[in-house]
Structure 1
Amino acid sequence: MAEIKVQDYTLKAFDLKAKDLMQQYLNDFDVNVSDYSFCANYIWLSKSSGFYAIINNTFCLFVMNGGELSMLLPPLGKPKDCYESIPECFKIMNENNSSNYYSRIEYVCDSFLEGFITYTNEGEVIFSSLDNYVIEKKLADYIYVSDDLIELKGNSYHTKRTEINKFKRVYPNYLVEVLDCKKHSEDIRILFDKWVSDRIKYVPKAEVDAFLDGIYQERLAIKRCLQDYEALGLVGLVIYINDELKGFTIGEKICSDTASVLIEKTDFEVLGCAQFIFREFSKYLKDKFDCKYINVGDDMGFENLKKVKMSYRPEKIIPKYTIYQKL
């Protein structure tokens, strides 16, 4: 991937070599939102072109789609530097783009947005109360207390406990292993193909194209996870029944007290498998990272996924926003 030059800036390719540098700037954030991670952006940029630049002492992550530049995160670094970098970032995007309509900053967490709105410089509210910007609320991350997901106490988790107990009773010979890319990659590919085949049967015809596009991206994301597993600092579990892979899950630590579940797939035909591996992975993440919270990302706007994530009683639902310019 080539570098691109916009104004006086050189935007460098967002690849594995950028990991340690980005992490330095993320350390100033310590945000428990799933998108604020090198890995979360790296794996999903398989279909797009990612670029970064250091602007005003902040790490700025751009994505090029169809020749248009936007930002996947707000500038990362110390708060004052971040807020003061935003106008410069919009200038870079505007200079490249065919229309200012395409210039935007996505996945802005609420804590950053609050500071962005109220930040003052020499007594004046920056951006004149955002006269030049439009802020749109988008998706939200679901965050749980680790112990809640492990212990599943109380009536609200009765169904989850029942599903797990039924799984253990029906499949007493299950085997849970720590994910090993050399050992498990081919089985993961086979299971993912089966998951797609089973899932597409229930997708409404009007949504098939969008579903297949999402699957293409997810397939590439899983491939990147497995190819660069150790370099990305990922952890995962797999579950076998009768020597056949029936589930896998991959995650990481994203801040001082929170781990994130990036991907989870199980065989639809094995009832209770999803609930079981989710609880086992919650145990693993807590033991591995001593994390108080577990973030499972957003629901991507799917009502069914929202219902599943709400059924686990999130401790926090953290909204994410997009910043646009007023045209």
Structure 2
Amino acid sequence: MANLTVNEQVLKPFTLDVKPVLEKYLSRLHIDLSDYTFAANYIWLANSSGFYAIINKCFCLFVMTAGELTMILPPLGKKKYITDAMISCFTIMNENNSSPYYARIDYVQEAMVEEFAMYTDDAQSMFVMMDNYIVEKKLVDYIYLVDSLIYLRGNSYHTKRTEINKFKKSYPDCVVEELDSSKHKDEIILLFNKWVTDRVKYMPSEEAENFLEGIHQERIAVKQMIKNYNELSLIGLVIYINGELKGFTVGEKINEDTASVIIEKTDFEILGCAQFIFREFSKILKEHYRVTYINVGDDMGFENLRKVKMSYRPFKLVPKYTIYQK
């Protein structure tokens, strides 16, 4: 993929080679949102054109979709540089895009929104700033104490413990293995395809259309994850029942005390499998990364997924915002 030049600003392709560059900027921040890692963005940009540039001493990640540029993360850098970089990025997007309507910055953490709103102490300038932009709260990331997910103590986790115990009694010979991308890739794709079919079957009809629109992107993301599993420094588990792969899960470390679950799929027909593999993976994440918290991402706006994630009693919900132009 070639460079993209917009009004003399060169945007370079977002390739695997960019991993150490982005991670250098991320290492200076302490952000526990699941979107702020190289792997998460590289996997989900598999079906899009990602570009980056260093603007005002900040790492700026753009995505090109149908010829229109947006930002999949806010500029990453020291606090004093971020807002000016945001404004410069809007200028770049406007120069490229067919309409100012398309320009936006997604997955902005709360502290950056506050800094953007308080860009200047001059009240008149502040009014002009917020008169030109709209800040909209979007989804939230669900973050849990890792020990809560492992030990499932108390009445609030009674149902989870029961589901796991029933699963263990029903499938005493199940086998849990560390994910090997070469060994397990074909079976993972087969399970993913079955999961899609079953998910639509049990999904409320009003959600099914939106779900199917996004599933093509997720299928490509899963393939990208498998293809570059080792290069992305991921960790995962698979579970076998009667010789068939019935679940897989993949995660990574976000910061010093937080790991994330990037993707998890299990066979709907195996009751308790999802709860069982989630607890086993929580143990691995704690052992492997020595973390205190696990971030399982957002609910993508699906009510059923929100209920599932809330049922695990999150330690905190971390909001994510989008900044638009008026």
TM-score range, shorter chain: over 0.9
Give the structure 1 partner of residue 249 of structure 2: 249
Maintained 8 Å contact 2:146/2:286 = yes
Q: Give RMSD over aligned pairs.
A: 1.4
Deviation string 1:50-76 (CA, Å, 9 cap, x unpaired) is 110110111000011111111011100
Maintained 8 Å contact 1:258/1:293 = yes
Give the structure 1 partner of residue 146 of structure 2: 146
CA distance, structure 2, for counterparts of residue 42 and residue 267 of structure 1: 26
CA distance, structure 2, for counterparts of residue 206 and residue 150 of structure 1: 34
CA distance, structure 1, for counterparts of residue 123 and residue 148 of structure 2: 41
Give the counterpart letter for 1:94 in structure 2: N
Which of 209-218 and 272-281 deviates more? 209-218
Give the structure 1 partner of residue 91 of structure 2: 91
- The TM-score with structure 2 as length reference comes to 0.96
Deviation string 1:106-153 (CA, Å, 9 cap, x unpaired) is 110112212222344xx5479514232110111110000000000100
Is 2:2 the partner of 1:21?
no
CA distance, structure 1, for counterparts of residue 199 and residue 87 of structure 2: 43
1:151-162, aligned counterparts within 5 Å?
151-162=151-162
CA distance, structure 1, for counterparts of residue 289 and residue 115 of structure 2: 29
Maintained 8 Å contact 1:238/1:247 = yes
Maintained 8 Å contact 2:62/2:69 = yes
Which of 159-168 and 211-220 deviates more? 211-220
CA distance, structure 1, for counterparts of residue 204 and residue 134 of structure 2: 34
Maintained 8 Å contact 1:34/1:260 = yes
Maintained 8 Å contact 1:119/1:125 = no
1:96-245, aligned counterparts within 5 Å?
96-120=96-120, 123-124=121-122, 128-129=126-127, 130-205=130-205, 207-245=207-245
CA distance, structure 1, for counterparts of residue 293 and residue 63 of structure 2: 29
Give the counterpart letter for 1:26 in structure 2: L
Percent identity over the alignment is 62
Which of 288-297 and 180-189 deviates more? 180-189
CA distance, structure 1, for counterparts of residue 112 and residue 261 of structure 2: 23
Distance apart, 1:212 and its partner CA: 2.4
CA distance, structure 2, for counterparts of residue 237 and residue 296 of structure 1: 15
Maintained 8 Å contact 2:119/2:126 = no
Deviation string 1:243-269 (CA, Å, 9 cap, x unpaired) is 111100000001111000000000111
* Residues paired across the two proteins, number: 324
Deviation string 1:223-250 (CA, Å, 9 cap, x unpaired) is 1111001110100000011111110000
Which of 261-270 and 184-193 deviates more? 184-193
Residue segments in structure 2 that go unaligned for 5+ positions in a row: none
- The TM-score with structure 1 as length reference comes to 0.96
Distance apart, 1:280 and its partner CA: 0.4
CA distance, structure 1, for counterparts of residue 315 and residue 47 of structure 2: 33
Residue segments in structure 1 that go unaligned for 5+ positions in a row: none
Q: 1:163 to 1:204 in 2, by over 3 A?
A: closer
* Secondary structure in 2 matching 1:229: coil
Maintained 8 Å contact 2:207/2:302 = no
CA distance, structure 2, for counterparts of residue 177 and residue 264 of structure 1: 15
Give the structure 1 partner of residue 42 of structure 2: 42
CA distance, structure 1, for counterparts of residue 207 and residue 309 of structure 2: 22
Give the counterpart letter for 1:9 in structure 2: Q
Q: 1:243 to 1:19 in 2, by over 3 A?
A: same
CA distance, structure 1, for counterparts of residue 154 and residue 119 of structure 2: 43
CA distance, structure 1, for counterparts of residue 203 and residue 314 of structure 2: 27
Maintained 8 Å contact 2:239/2:247 = yes
Give the structure 2 partner of residue 279 of structure 1: 279
CA distance, structure 1, for counterparts of residue 123 and residue 322 of structure 2: 20
Distance apart, 1:204 and its partner CA: 4.8
Which of 191-200 and 45-54 deviates more? 191-200
Distance apart, 1:43 and its partner CA: 0.6
CA distance, structure 2, for counterparts of residue 126 and residue 182 of structure 1: 59
Deviation string 1:94-115 (CA, Å, 9 cap, x unpaired) is 1111111111111101122122
CA distance, structure 1, for counterparts of residue 48 and residue 3 of structure 2: 14
Q: 1:185 to 1:126 in 2, by over 3 A?
A: farther
Give the structure 2 partner of residue 7 of structure 1: 7
Give the counterpart letter for 1:49 in structure 2: S
CA distance, structure 2, for counterparts of residue 149 and residue 125 of structure 1: 47
